[in-house]
């Protein structure tokens, strides 16, 4: 056994040495052809220089040998068309020259000096030497889309992505090592200015001649001209002997660090990437379209009233599918309607910004203005736009709503352009069959959408009616998958009444998730109902459910991971207290989330457990409602339910105890308690405080009636009238009688300041004091 092994080892090293003798020193008149003897290997055989297959023929460059697939790490003359098989590549004193069968010579590598030898090195660097054995040209100085370990990206140089996995021509995105020390990603063919940048290392001003470096252990970092480390992109420290690392700007515009075992058949895995949001690269979707993520993959969609210029080239953008006509008829009626897109926005290029309280105001303002082609609405500001729009994207955390003006009558649909008529005839047949296919797909997806009907995208036509579109999909996981995702259920994020929450990571560690293991007592039917209830919900102020696992007794729900802990953690830790305006923002966020559950979903959902512990904070300070374990879905038309008590002590509305039917007003009650906590940054009951301050409700009522609201916020600088309004809202919410409590919509309007005159709430303090 051992003897055989040693024999094999000897054979192996022998073949390597012959390879070395044959190829490491390429001398004058050595040549390659695409079909026979197509590669010069490096001594170890890992890298090779020469011909490889590309779309439409052969390309010349450097490959990292792999089985079944080679990895292309460098391409010569990448924008020249691929060559045919009857050419030869010859090493001459002038460098590398391609000879066609007609005797034509094309320079592939021109070192501008007389070359005497060349070598494919084990580092993946292809090098030309002069007669003094000095390097006169090396591929490491002319990177295409890949950086190998030991290679540097010099100041002024860039990596440029390829067109596709098969076409190595210059693609759409670049990573530039700028002279100002900043490493920046831009689309290609645009000015390198900040408005086009979509990623930067933020090392601007660290001096010129900074470099990007990759070490053999996967360490990716920036050095300034004197070799001082100015930024670490990755930690490194990976295994060196048995692993190959490379960094590449991929076709999708994101640059990633990959690793692979030495074994030719092992696969690449992503160690790090510049972004996890594939919609980040600007220009991925062209003009008048926007990018959104579906199952982590970017999808381009045209604005309403627009179609793709070329469906196979979505980056070319979209053009109008109707002819813009006079904006108003003679009788003053308006020819257009407005379609709205929630959470969609683009590069703001407004010609006019007006303040408008509601979306409807903004819609009106745009309809009446003949110059207005679209508008972006956010924070009571209506930004009127001219099209085309650029860098559009949809991200659920964005509160912007986009409005686009579209033609109302079908008569205004544009007829095919004259010049394109012939061509259009050709594709008529194809389009017809495509149309049929589309109808089938539509029918099917319509069914799916109907089943999973959520409230994601509201389309508001001029009449103001809502049309619901876009369904939600849930991923199903096996227990084994979740075990892997959570690394064997090691990191516990929290424990609650109905289970334990673990931290996990999906897609090679790029997407963090929270995996909730439900107690065994959860029935299957209950679980399925719950899941369906949530599958359709989609709102920036609700934690999103991504998937589930139902395998025997194992019941899991997989949620998006929210990074900044709970609101309770913020409110009850003095060092973390948010400022007043931040706190009011949080209260509005939560109210919006509740509003969605109460009024915007297909069927009304009561959360039943609104409290600071169940509000999670994202990295931008936005609040999201979580823990739907107790949520109760009301059937269509049903407004109240007689159910067993749900909720948490201190936040439970009194009607639960009176055995009365409960309505969505129980959430308003819990919200009111929480609002008082948000105002005062303290717990419901705090025994460490003086007697009269122990119970929050009583203390607030007392201060309100005594006109001493300042006591509630200590010495924080808060606008007195605003404080009074907020306290009033809180006190209205916690009225004993559910009918007295405002709807959450009204609560939101009061919080936002749209309703300013808030009546004085009936006193609750007496009852509370008697109860204590």
Ligand X SMILES: *[C@@H]1O[C@H](CO)[C@@H](O)[C@H](O)[C@H]1NC(C)=O
Kindly report the CA angle at 435 between 290 and 467, in degrees rounded to 5?
A: 50
Q: What's the residue count for the chain?
A: 772
Q: Where are the alpha helices (DSSP H) in 421-462?
A: 421-451
84 part of the interface to ligand X, by CB under 6 A: yes
> Where do we find the tokens 């690394």?
487
- Spatial separation of the C-alpha atoms in residues 445 and 462, rounded to whole Å: 26
Contact by Cβ (8 Å): 487, 502 = no
Residue 230 Cβ vs ligand X, minimum distance, rounded to whole Å: 6
- Spatial separation of the C-alpha atoms in residues 540 and 623, rounded to whole Å: 9
Residue 86 Cβ vs ligand X, minimum distance, rounded to whole Å: 4
Contact with ligand X (CB under 6 A) among 78, 176, 231, 320: 231
Residue 292 Cβ vs ligand X, minimum distance, rounded to whole Å: 25
Q: Can you name the residues that pair with 385 across neighbouring β-strands?
A: 350, 374
**Residue 257 Cα to chain centre, angstroms:** 19
Q: Can you name the residues that pair with 753 across neighbouring β-strands?
A: none
Residue 227 Cβ vs ligand X, minimum distance, rounded to whole Å: 8
Q: Can you name the residues that pair with 576 across neighbouring β-strands?
A: none
Contacts of 214 (CB under 8 A, 6+ apart): 147, 148, 149, 150, 151, 152, 220, 245, 246, 247, 257
- Spatial separation of the C-alpha atoms in residues 661 and 671, rounded to whole Å: 19
Residue 169 Cβ vs ligand X, minimum distance, rounded to whole Å: 4
Contact with ligand X (CB under 6 A) among 13, 35, 69, 86: 86
**Selected range binding ligand X among 225-233, 407-415, 511-519, 736-744, rule: CB under 6 A:** 225-233
Q: Which two tokens stand for residue 729?
A: 């809202």
- Spatial separation of the C-alpha atoms in residues 315 and 724, rounded to whole Å: 52
**Selected range binding ligand X among 34-42, 222-230, 424-432, 551-559, rule: CB under 6 A:** 222-230
Contact with ligand X (CB under 6 A) among 13, 69, 101, 573: 101
Contact with ligand X (CB under 6 A) among 134, 202, 208, 349: 208
Contact with ligand X (CB under 6 A) among 88, 123, 154, 209: 209
Contact with ligand X (CB under 6 A) among 36, 226, 330, 688: 226
229 part of the interface to ligand X, by CB under 6 A: yes
Residue 284 Cβ vs ligand X, minimum distance, rounded to whole Å: 15
Contact with ligand X (CB under 6 A) among 117, 123, 321, 452: 117
| Per-position b or e across 148-184, b if 16+ CB within 10 A of its CB | bbebbbebebbbbbbeeeebbbbbbbbbbbbeebbbb
- Label the pairing between strands 289-294 and 392-394: parallel
Contacts of 249 (CB under 8 A, 6+ apart): 145, 159, 160, 161, 173, 174, 175, 185, 255
44 part of the interface to ligand X, by CB under 6 A: no
Contact with ligand X (CB under 6 A) among 33, 71, 167, 266: 167
Contact with ligand X (CB under 6 A) among 16, 93, 200, 709: 93
Q: Which is nearer to ligand X, 209 or 243 (CB)?
A: 209
**Selected range binding ligand X among 220-228, 665-673, 680-688, 711-719, rule: CB under 6 A:** 220-228
Residue 309 Cβ vs ligand X, minimum distance, rounded to whole Å: 15
Closest CA to 279 of 367, 339, 198: 198
Q: Is 517 annotated as a binding residue?
A: yes
Kindly state the number of chain residues that form the binding site for ligand X, as judged by CB under 6 A: 27
228 part of the interface to ligand X, by CB under 6 A: yes
Closest CA to 608 of 635, 630, 640: 630
Helix pair angle (665-680, 580-595), 10° resolution: 170
Contact with ligand X (CB under 6 A) among 45, 66, 150, 207: 207
3-state secondary structure of 32: strand
Residue 702 Cβ vs ligand X, minimum distance, rounded to whole Å: 52
Contact by Cβ (8 Å): 732, 739 = no
Contact with ligand X (CB under 6 A) among 22, 56, 480, 507: 56
135 part of the interface to ligand X, by CB under 6 A: no
**Selected range binding ligand X among 81-89, 187-195, 284-292, 416-424, rule: CB under 6 A:** 81-89
Q: Which is nearer to ligand X, 232 or 478 (CB)?
A: 232
Q: Which is nearer to ligand X, 131 or 754 (CB)?
A: 131
Q: Which two tokens stand for residue 564?
A: 């900044």
Residue 126 Cβ vs ligand X, minimum distance, rounded to whole Å: 13
Q: Which is nearer to ligand X, 85 or 433 (CB)?
A: 85
Contacts of 353 (CB under 8 A, 6+ apart): 381, 382, 383, 384
35 part of the interface to ligand X, by CB under 6 A: no
Contact with ligand X (CB under 6 A) among 139, 169, 174, 213: 169
> Where do we find the tokens 């369904």?
471
Q: Which is nearer to ligand X, 94 or 728 (CB)?
A: 94
55 part of the interface to ligand X, by CB under 6 A: yes
Residue 311 Cβ vs ligand X, minimum distance, rounded to whole Å: 16
**Selected range binding ligand X among 145-153, 206-214, 319-327, 715-723, rule: CB under 6 A:** 206-214
Looking at residues 591 to 630 of the shown chain, list those that interact with ligand X (rule: CB under 6 A): none
Q: Which is nearer to ligand X, 56 or 661 (CB)?
A: 56
CA distances from 646 to 108, 121, 312, 606, 771 (A): 75, 70, 53, 11, 22
- Spatial separation of the C-alpha atoms in residues 32 and 108, rounded to whole Å: 13
CB-closest chain residue to ligand X: 207
45 part of the interface to ligand X, by CB under 6 A: no
CA distances from 537 to 5, 444, 609, 751 (A): 61, 21, 17, 24
Which residues carry out catalysis?
Answer: 609
Q: Exposed, middle or buried, 732 (CB in 10 Å: 0-12/13-18/19+)?
A: buried
Kindly report the CA angle at 662 between 658 and 665, in degrees rounded to 5?
A: 115
119 part of the interface to ligand X, by CB under 6 A: yes
17 part of the interface to ligand X, by CB under 6 A: no
- Spatial separation of the C-alpha atoms in residues 109 and 95, rounded to whole Å: 6
Q: Which is nearer to ligand X, 82 or 593 (CB)?
A: 82
Contact with ligand X (CB under 6 A) among 15, 18, 21, 27: 27
Q: Which is nearer to ligand X, 25 or 408 (CB)?
A: 25
Q: Which residues are annotated as a binding site for ATP?
A: 517
Which residues of this chain interact with ligand X, rule CB under 6 A?
A: 25, 27, 55-56, 82, 84, 86, 93, 101, 114, 117, 119, 133, 163, 167, 169, 207-209, 224-226, 228-232
Name the binding residues.
Answer: 517
């Amino acid at each position: 056994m051992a003897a055989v092994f040693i024999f094999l080892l000897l054979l192996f090293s022998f073949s390597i040495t012959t390879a070395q003798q044959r190829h490491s020193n390429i001398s004058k008149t050595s040549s390659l052809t695409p079909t026979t003897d197509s590669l010069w290997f490096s001594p170890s055989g890992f890298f090779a220089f020469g011909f490889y297959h590309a779309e439409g023929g052969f390309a010349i460059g450097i490959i990292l040998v792999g089985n079944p697939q080679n990895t292309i790490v460098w391409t010569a003359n990448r924008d020249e068309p691929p060559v045919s098989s009857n050419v030869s590549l010859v090493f001459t004193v002038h460098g590398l020259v391609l000879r066609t069968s007609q005797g034509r010579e094309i320079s592939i590598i021109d070192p501008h000096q007389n070359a005497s030898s060349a070598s494919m090195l084990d580092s993946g660097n292809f090098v030309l030497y002069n007669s003094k054995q000095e390097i006169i040209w090396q591929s490491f100085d002319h990177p295409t889309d890949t950086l190998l370990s030991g290679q540097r990206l010099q100041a002024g140089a860039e990596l440029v992505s390829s067109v596709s996995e098969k076409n190595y021509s210059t693609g759409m995105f670049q990573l530039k090592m700028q002279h100002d020390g900043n490493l920046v990603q831009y689309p290609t063919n645009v000015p390198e200015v900040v408005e086009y940048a979509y990623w930067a290392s933020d090392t601007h001003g660290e001096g010129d001649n900074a470099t990007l470096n990759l070490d053999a252990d996967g360490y990716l970092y920036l050095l300034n001209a004197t070799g001082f480390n100015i930024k670490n992109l990755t930690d490194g420290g990976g295994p060196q002997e048995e692993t190959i690392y490379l960094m590449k700007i991929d076709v999708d515009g994101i640059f990633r660090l990959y690793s692979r075992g030495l074994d030719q058949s092992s696969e690449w895995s992503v160690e790090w990437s510049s972004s996890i949001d594939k919609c980040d690269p600007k220009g991925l979707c062209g003009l008048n379209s926007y990018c959104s993520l579906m199952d982590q993959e970017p999808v381009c969609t045209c604005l309403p009233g627009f179609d793709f210029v070329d469906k196979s080239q979505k980056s070319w953008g979209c053009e109008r599918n109707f002819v813009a006509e006079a904006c108003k008829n003679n009788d003053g009626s308006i020819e257009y309607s407005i379609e709205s897109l929630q959470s969609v926005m683009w590069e703001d290029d407004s010609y006019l910004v007006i303040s408008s309280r509601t979306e409807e105001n903004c819609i009106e303002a745009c309809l009446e203005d003949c110059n207005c082609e679209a508008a972006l609405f956010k924070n009571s500001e209506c930004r009127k736009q001219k099209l085309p729009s650029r860098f559009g994207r949809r991200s659920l955390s964005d509160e912007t709503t986009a409005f686009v003006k579209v033609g109302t009558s079908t008569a205004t649909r544009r007829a095919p352009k004259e010049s394109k008529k012939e061509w259009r005839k050709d594709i008529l047949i194809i389009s017809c069959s495509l149309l049929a296919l589309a109808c089938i797909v539509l029918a099917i997806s319509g069914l799916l959408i109907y089943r999973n009907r959520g409230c994601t995208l509201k389309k508001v036509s001029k009449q103001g009616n809502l049309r619901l579109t876009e369904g939600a999909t849930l991923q199903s996981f096996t227990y084994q998958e979740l075990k892997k995702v959570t690394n064997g259920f090691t990191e516990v994020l929290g424990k609650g009444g109905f289970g334990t929450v673990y931290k996990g990571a999906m897609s090679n560690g790029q997407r963090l998730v929270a995996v909730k293991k439900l107690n065994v007592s959860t029935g299957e039917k209950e679980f399925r109902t719950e899941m369906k209830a949530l599958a359709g919900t989609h709102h920036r102020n609700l934690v999103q459910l991504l998937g589930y696992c139902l395998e025997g007794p194992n019941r899991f729900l997989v949620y998006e991971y929210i990074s900044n802990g709970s609101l309770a953690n913020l409110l009850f830790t003095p060092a973390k207290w948010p400022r007043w305006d931040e706190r009011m923002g949080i209260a509005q966020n939560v109210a919006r989330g509740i509003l969605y559950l109460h009024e915007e979903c297909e069927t009304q959902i009561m959360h039943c457990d609104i409290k600071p512990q169940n509000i999670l904070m994202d990295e931008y300070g936005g609040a999201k409602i979580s823990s739907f374990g107790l949520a109760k879905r009301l059937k269509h038309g049903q407004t109240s339910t007689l159910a067993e008590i749900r909720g948490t002590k201190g936040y439970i509305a009194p009607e639960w105890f009176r055995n009365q039917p409960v309505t969505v007003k129980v959430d308003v009650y819990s919200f009111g308690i929480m609002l008082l906590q948000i105002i005062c940054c303290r717990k419901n009951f705090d025994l460490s405080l003086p007697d009269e301050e122990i119970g929050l409700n009583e203390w607030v009522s007392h201060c309100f009636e005594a006109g001493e609201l300042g006591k509630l916020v200590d010495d924080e600088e808060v606008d007195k009238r605003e404080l009074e309004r907020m306290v009033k809202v809180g006190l209205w919410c916690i009225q004993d009688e559910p009918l007295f409590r405002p709807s959450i919509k009204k609560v939101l309007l009061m919080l936002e300041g749209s309703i300013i005159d808030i009546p004085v709430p009936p006193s609750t303090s007496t009852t509370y004091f008697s109860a204590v």
